[in-house]
Amino acid sequence: MTAEPVVEELDQDTCLELLGTREVGRVAVARGSGPPHIVPVNYTLLRGSVVFRSAPGTKLRELVKEPVAFEADSWDSATRTGWSVVVEGLAYEASDREMEVEDIELDSFAERQNSRWVRLVPTVVTGRRIVRPSS
């Protein structure tokens, strides 16, 4: 008989470590009185911040107005184990110069020629992991 899965709460350091293992996450921005706008983005971490590129549009326009949320996860359907990390915070359009100084490399979905750098500075980082205890 297989042990039932256990849900663990993760500390911030573990959350950031797990985020560093992925390349794609989802960013959610408020959209006035409508539902949140949620889109996938390629990202990287920069000293605890989430950095990604965005083409001009709804996401870029709205994310600088209100707090935003970012989520990345991993799931193994065979073992039914995985994790999810959520970053909440304030985002801003970072300059090309800032990112050049940081020497960021990012393979992005966003069109390079017209896209902008975005940096999400966390105020809250939370995570959960589903594991199977060893018998």
**What are the pLDDT digits (tens) for 40-72?**
999 999 989 999 988 888 888 888 888 899 999
Share of the chain above pLDDT 90, in %: 53
Burial category of 125 from C-beta neighbours within 10 Å (exposed 0-12, middle 13-18, buried 19 and up) = buried
d(CA 107, CA 69): 21
Task: Tell me the mean pLDDT in the region 81-97.
Answer: 92
Rounded Cα distance between 86 and 70, Å, is: 6
Mean pLDDT value across the chain: 87
Read off the pTM: 0.87
The pLDDT of residue 108 is 65
Q: Is the pLDDT of residue 27 over 80?
A: yes
pLDDT at 10: 98
Range scoring the smallest mean pLDDT among 13-17, 47-51, 99-103, 123-127: 99-103
**Does the pLDDT of residue 113 top 90, yes or no?**
no
pLDDT at site 107: 67
Q: Which fold has domain 6-131?
A: Pnp Oxidase; Chain A (2.30.110)
